[in-house]
Structure 1
Amino acid sequence: MSESESILATGGSFLRDKWSSEDEELAGPSQTVPPQLPGIQIVSERELAQLAQVRPLLFNFHEQSVIKDCFKMLEKKVAEYEILQEFMTLDYKNIPDAFNSGNELRNREKNRYRDILPYDSTRVPLGENKDYINASYIRIVNSGEEYFYIASQGPLPSTTDDFWQMVLENNSNVIVMITREIEGGIIKCHHYWPISMKKPLELKNYRIFLENYQILQYFIIRIFHVVKKSTGSSHFVKHLQFTSWPDHGTPASVDGFIKYVRYVRKSHLTGPMLVHCSAGVGRTGVFLCVDVVFCAIEKNFPFNIKNIVTQMREQRYGMIQTKEQYFFCYKVVLEVLQKILTLD
């Protein structure tokens, strides 16, 4: 194990949570409720393994040298604890906008956590009246290319209808869920989809059908058919739930998360990618950061993790909550770069 790997692997021993909202666990069982059978194969393990091999568009001598220099620079930052200092310079105090909508009396019960609210300027409006949901548009620009997401809290029982309205109005074909419904004895997210293929989930305005599913080692794939009751219009959504994030800290293995992020990107077709965990800032921020970096590596673009996180925080308060999550971003990127450097 290299020095950087050792630091990253043991980071949890000295990294404490900055926030209580995202990772406030108590003792108790953790669960997600998958169907009883593994489902019909949607993707093979071989395909996932191939997807996990992030490859730059060009890999000549010059590009190999660039990647090697990048790897050494990131490894040095980790080994010398510069990452810790870098995270601490990401200031929570510079709040670029107000939280008026989230603080309105009529909207307070729509927030899972009272300290995690969307900025007024980037919140996702619902319908003609621009109704409230705790979700934010996030646009990340890297090397002139824009990556468009919705970062959302996990739905509550009272906001499930609103959540599906947001999915349809934004024409999002992928939902990225990075939490289990219950973790450490605490409800992290309402079960907002049908459990069985035999019986749809009936909501006030929507009917949700489970068309297919596949249970994999690290995540679950579900295919939903969403019907708007008032018009009969339908929309198909791929729901990708990462089930391997531990109750405390970050995943011990990066391999499963790399496969997950890559499969999500491959599945994305329309609208902003809709990403949520429980509060919609911690694990959600990790996913967005890693996805942008992977896209940059593929296109031989430079990237700066601190800059990516800064852009996210300017659009949703508190994105990437803990030092440990910030370290995990570097750990994942270093793993990918190291594999690239082993290519012939």
Structure 2
Amino acid sequence: MHNRFADLSVSGDEGDGEEWQIAVGKKMGRKEPARQLEAKAGANRDYAIAEMDDNYDKNRYCDCLPFNYNRVILHRHDEEDAGYINASHLRSKDFEQPEWEYIAAQGPLFDTVPEFWRMVYESGSQMIVMLTRTEEENIKGQMVDKCAAYWPQSVGAIMPQGNLMVKLDNEEMLSPELRRRELTLTCLDNDDVLPLTHIQHLTWPDHGLPPSSVALRCILALMRAAREAPPSVPHGGGPPIVHDSAGIGRTGVLVAADIALRQLHAARSPGDAKAAVDCKAIVQELRRQRMSMVHYQEQFAWLYRVLADEIKSLMT
């Protein structure tokens, strides 16, 4: 049986597999794509709400803010509740196929953990992807806070969060790089229960790249399986929530890779895939919706590595 990806040259002129990765690396060395991908698309976006006095301290970084037009807005509990969280709705364009939707968020601060769980419940999300450790080394070798530990720390433990209650039902290592947690989120006002999966990538450095794409593609496969399964509860089935620390670099890479692989798998022929998969266009669209998505030049180049590795796996 002929493999429909066997003669696929995704970029159109650079060949496939390792030749393609080398060609992309040479192009990225000239830094032309990096300049082209600068967030000009988001330059005219307003993020004034994130800078309001009541909201400013809820941002982990002052230069990683959600745009007003597509920020996640929480239901307000009272007049003093601003309904603010540093998170953005990411959505495909009208009539784009395949359709996609995500929530990109910063890693919660200790004081914003309740808002994070409100976002999970109100969005009906049943998958959280965490691409950071709670603490990581900075470029000086110092351990710094990257994300609050917003889930219970032992199986069976319960963490109250206002009118919500989080329980850790199970925890397991899928590989040395990946940890999976199964949690239950209960609304105490109406006894609604939202089961959800939490996947954490443990070895992706903030200012670097993973040694291989295997763990990332495993996460994408889990996301794909969850997407194709019917919601387990009536108010479930919301978009996956993806975060690292700032919610732009590693988060942008994972979201862009997921979109690219979805386009690849939707292609009916090699020719269709060549036309459909455009990493540059994907990143540009993501940057229109959240500033600095796919933050580093090397992260953009690595998208092609992920795509090439997926093609190789489909050919074997």
Shift of 1:231: 2.4
Where does residue 97 of structure 1 map in the other structure? Answer: 45
The residue identity in structure 1 corresponding to 2:90 is I
Runs of 5+ consecutive residues of structure 1 not aligned to the other structure: 1-58
Give the alignment of 1:127-138 within 5 angstroms: 127-128=75-76, 131-138=83-90
Shift of 1:143: 5.3
Hey, what's the Cα distance between the residues in 2 that align with 1:266 and 1:162?
27
Hey, what's the Cα distance between the residues in 2 that align with 1:195 and 1:340?
38
Where does residue 208 of structure 1 map in the other structure? Answer: 166
Where does residue 162 of structure 1 map in the other structure? Answer: 115
Hey, what's the Cα distance between the residues in 1 that align with 2:67 and 2:206?
28
Hey, what's the Cα distance between the residues in 1 that align with 2:52 and 2:11?
50
| C-alpha contact (below 8 Å) 1:176/1:275 kept by paired residues | yes
1:117 aligns with 2:65: yes
Where does residue 152 of structure 1 map in the other structure? Answer: 105
Deviations 1:83-112 (A, max 9, x none): 732122112244131011101000011100
Where does residue 4 of structure 1 map in the other structure? Answer: none
| C-alpha contact (below 8 Å) 2:105/2:246 kept by paired residues | yes
Give the alignment of 1:230-309 within 5 angstroms: 230-246=189-205, 248-268=207-227, 269=229, 270-300=237-267, 301=273, 302-309=276-283
Hey, what's the Cα distance between the residues in 2 that align with 1:161 and 1:247?
25
Deviations 1:128-152 (A, max 9, x none): 5771110000013595322000000
Report the TM-score, using the length of structure 2 for normalisation. Answer: 0.83
Where does residue 81 of structure 1 map in the other structure? Answer: 27
The residue identity in structure 2 corresponding to 1:297 is L
Shift of 1:256: 2.0
Hey, what's the Cα distance between the residues in 1 that align with 2:266 and 2:118?
34
Q: SS state of the match for residue 317, structure 1?
A: coil
Hey, what's the Cα distance between the residues in 1 that align with 2:11 and 2:68?
41
The residue identity in structure 2 corresponding to 1:91 is E
Where does residue 225 of structure 1 map in the other structure? Answer: 184
Runs of 4+ that moved beyond 4 A: 59-63, 67-71
Q: SS state of the match for residue 81, structure 1?
A: helix
Shift of 1:199: 2.2
Higher relative contact order (CA 8 A, sep 6+): 1
Shift of 1:79: 4.6
| C-alpha contact (below 8 Å) 2:132/2:206 kept by paired residues | no
Give the alignment of 1:45-84 within 5 angstroms: 60=2, 64-67=6-9, 70=12, 72=15, 74-75=20-21, 77-82=23-28, 84=31
Q: 1:191 to 1:276 in 2, by over 3 A?
A: same
Alignment partner of 2:299 out of 312, 316, 325: 325
Alignment partner of 1:179 out of 120, 132, 136: 132
Runs of 5+ consecutive residues of structure 2 not aligned to the other structure: 138-142, 230-236, 268-272
Identity among equivalent positions (%) equals 30
